[in-house]
Amino acid sequence: MNITVRVWRQKNADDKGRMVTYGVENVSEHMSFLEMLDVLNEQLTLSGDDPIAFDHDCREGICGMCGVVINGIAHGPEVTTTCQLHMRSFEDGAVIDVEPWRAGAFPVVKDLVVDRSAFDRIIQAGGYISAPTGSAPDAHAVPVPKDDADHAFDAATCIGCGACVAACPNGSAMLFTSAKITHLGLLPQGQPERESRVIGMVEQHDHEGFGGCTNIGECTSACPKGIPLDTIAQLNRDLLGALAHGKA
Ligand code: SF4
Ligand code: FES
């Protein structure tokens, strides 16, 4: 395949940034999108240009680092991570736009790299349990109903990629926050901090500049792990309960 990519280039956080057009030839349809960017970067390096900065780590859909907007869609045309997107999803001769996540709470660091440390601070505000560590407890020592275990597991598959924020017209991180709250709130070990957790995490979410949820649902459509809107309903129930108990 021979393709054209128009990539957001921005030297640093203060630079205004612009789209720059590059041609990439002999792209295999079996390459991942990131491998195509590797080929382009090799081309740029050999010609003495600055390679495109983009985040990546596991390249197998589990770390959440590789978020970019492709042709206006978070992670591109398939509901998956950018590292799991393959060039066969595009036509030969395609012109492909590549941009960083666009959200006020995710400032651009360089090119396609954004600062997602706001997510870390939301986790620090309550996304943990205080169960003592030590030797592993006996299996089944703490019974958990199967439905709760399944839903907690599903919520725990959130990889913190930020696609939900990038896709949301409000720039809201409610799907991410609610996935963490649901994961811990459904398990016995998550009960002691259940109310302080939801208050702390929602306060930090708002403090970071993420928008509010108005139930549009773009987040769940873009989520590579299929985190459902139900988790936001769970967050709202927990928040109302905590407020009713005067926890704010
Ligand atoms: S909820 Fe989905 S889209 Fe949002 S950070 Fe988690 S995995 Fe990514
Ligand atoms: S590089 Fe880890 S999810 Fe894509």
Q: So what's the pLDDT on residue 246?
A: 80
**What would the mean pLDDT of 155-159 be, rounded to a whole number?**
97
To the nearest 10°, the Cα dihedral for 170, 173, 174, 175? 110
More confident residue, 168 or 139: 168
Whole-prediction pTM: 0.94
Residue of 116, 123, 161 best suited for mutating to test ligand 1, as the one with most atoms within 8 Å of CB: 161
CB contact at 8 A, 119 and 180: no
Query: Domains of the chain: which residue ranges?
Result: 3-110, 116-130+143-244
- Does position 193 have pLDDT exceeding 80, yes or no? yes
pLDDT for 37-77, tens place per residue?
999 999 999 999 999 999 999 999 999 999 999 999 999 99
- Gap between the Cα atoms of 91 and 69, Å rounded: 18
> pLDDT exceeding 90 applies to what percent of the chain?
92
- Gap between the Cα atoms of 236 and 177, Å rounded: 11
- Gap between the Cα atoms of 85 and 207, Å rounded: 33
- Does position 191 have pLDDT exceeding 90, yes or no? yes
Report the separation in Å between the CA atom of 122 and the middle of ligand 1, taken as the mean of its atom positions. Answer: 14
Report the separation in Å between the CA atom of 78 and the middle of ligand 2, taken as the mean of its atom positions. Answer: 15
Query: Does 175 contact ligand 1 (Cβ within 6 A)?
Result: yes
Q: So what's the pLDDT on residue 140?
A: 80
pLDDT for 64-112, tens place per residue?
999 999 999 999 999 999 999 999 999 999 999 999 999 999 999 999 9
Residue 243 dihedral angles phi and psi, to the nearest 5°: -65, -40
Q: So what's the pLDDT on residue 124?
A: 97
Query: Does 160 contact ligand 2 (Cβ within 6 A)?
Result: no
Q: If phi over 0 gives left and psi between -120 and 50 gives alpha, with beta otherwise, what is residue 185? A: alpha
CB contact at 8 A, 136 and 203: no
- Gap between the Cα atoms of 184 and 152, Å rounded: 7
The domain 116-130+143-244: what is its CATH number?
1.10.1060.10
The domain 3-110: what is its CATH number?
3.10.20.30
SS3 217: coil
